[in-house]
Amino acid sequence: MDDATFDNLAPSQVVSTLAGTEHTLANEVPLAITLNGVNHAVMMVSPYQLEAFMIGFLLTEGIIQHHRDIHDLEFTRQKNAIIANATLANRCHQPWQEQRRNLSGRTGCGLCGIESLQAALPNLPPLPISPLPSTEALMGLRAQLPDWQKLNRNCGALHAAFFADKQGQIQHASEDVGRHNALDKLLGWRHRQPSQPEGMILVTSRCSIELILKMVRTYNPTLITLSAPTTLAVEQARHYQLNLIHLPYQQQPRIYAAAACKQLE
C-alpha cells in the first residue's frame, strides 16, 4: 500500500482559477485512523506513502515500539476520505488505551488535543551520543533538495523530510501538506529498512518541540532544519542529546545542540 494513491485523491491536482488559468495545487484528505476497532484520530494528509505514515505516526505517538506491532493494516476509501484500520499487538493495546489522546486532525500544531502537560513533555530516555556531521556534508544538502521534492515542484506547497547518509547524500524523501506528517512518513520508511546506516534527517520546516520528540522516540540522533528552531526545541534537544542544526540559506550551519559537544569538522 506504501506509495499508493487513491484515484482522484492524488497528492496534487490541476485546478482552474476563476480567470480560466490552470494551476497545480496540493491535495489533502482526511485520514481516519482506527486502532483495534476504536477511533483514534483524523489527520489531514497528502494521500501517498500512507503505510509509511501510519508506521511513523504510531511510533512517534509512542503507541507501538516496532512496525511488527502492527499485525494488519488496511486502507479503504470513503467518498473523499481514507479510512486506516490498524490491528495492533495485544501488548500495545492496553498502554494505548490508558494514554489515549483526544486529537483533532491538524496540519499545524503537533500538540493540539494533548490532555496533560506530562503528555506534552514526556520523560523519555536520552539518545546515545552521536558525532556531528561534517561541514562539507551539510553544505551539500540544499543543492540536492529540488531533485527529491517531486510533488512540491508542481505546486510549491508541500513540506518535505529527507534522510541523508554520513557523506551528505540524500537517500530518500517524503512530502506532505503537514510538516509533522512528512517527518512521520520518513521515520516510518526508515524504521522498516533491513539495516539502518548512520545518517541525518533534514526537514524543510521550522523546528518545534514535536519534531524533537519524534526524533527521540525513533532513536534518530541528528536533525537539520532549514528554518530556525524554537527555544523549547533547543532546550529539549540538548536535554535528549540530539544534534540540532539549522542550515540557513547561503550561510554556515548553526549548531544549537550537539551531543558530542564539539565543533564541526
- Residue 155's CB is within 10 A of a number of other CB atoms, namely 18
pLDDT of 1 reads: 44
Architecture of domain 12-120: Roll (3.10)
pLDDT-derived band at 194, boundaries 50, 70, 90: confident
Mean pLDDT score of the chain, rounded to an integer? 86
Whether 135-257 and 12-120 are alike in CATH topology: the answer is no
pLDDT at 101: 53
> Considering the entire predicted model, what is its pTM?
0.87
User: What element of type H or E holds 72?
Assistant: strand 70-78
* Active-site annotation, residues: 109
User: Residue 103: its pLDDT value, please?
Assistant: 46
* Burial class of residue 264, CB neighbours in 10 A (0-12, 13-18, 19+): middle
pLDDT band at residue 235 using 50, 70 and 90 as cut-offs = very high
For residue 68, give the DSSP letter: G
Q: How far apart are CA 184 and CA 159, in angstroms?
A: 12
Q: 151: part of which helix (H) or strand (E)?
A: helix 150-155
pLDDT tens per residue across span 122-133: 889 999 999 999
Residue 82: beta bridge partners? 31, 77
Return the pLDDT at 7.
52
| Alpha carbon separation from 191 to 168, 187, 203 (Å, rounded) | 19, 6, 17
Domain edges within the chain = 12-120, 135-257
C-alpha atoms less than 13 angstroms from C-alpha of 43 in its C-beta half-sphere: 25
Residues 9-66 have pLDDT tens digits of 777 777 666 776 777 888 899 999 999 999 999 999 999 999 999 999 999 999 999 9
Summarize pLDDT for 134-176 with one digit per residue, the tens: 999 999 999 999 999 988 888 877 999 999 999 999 999 999 9
Q: How confident is the model at residue 261 (pLDDT cuts 50, 70, 90)?
A: low
> Are 137 and 166 spatial neighbours (Cβ–Cβ below 8 Å)?
yes
Q: What local confidence, expressed as pLDDT, does residue 119 receive?
A: 61
CATH of domain 135-257: 3.40.140.10
**Which residues touch 108 (CB under 8 Å, ≥6 apart)?**
178
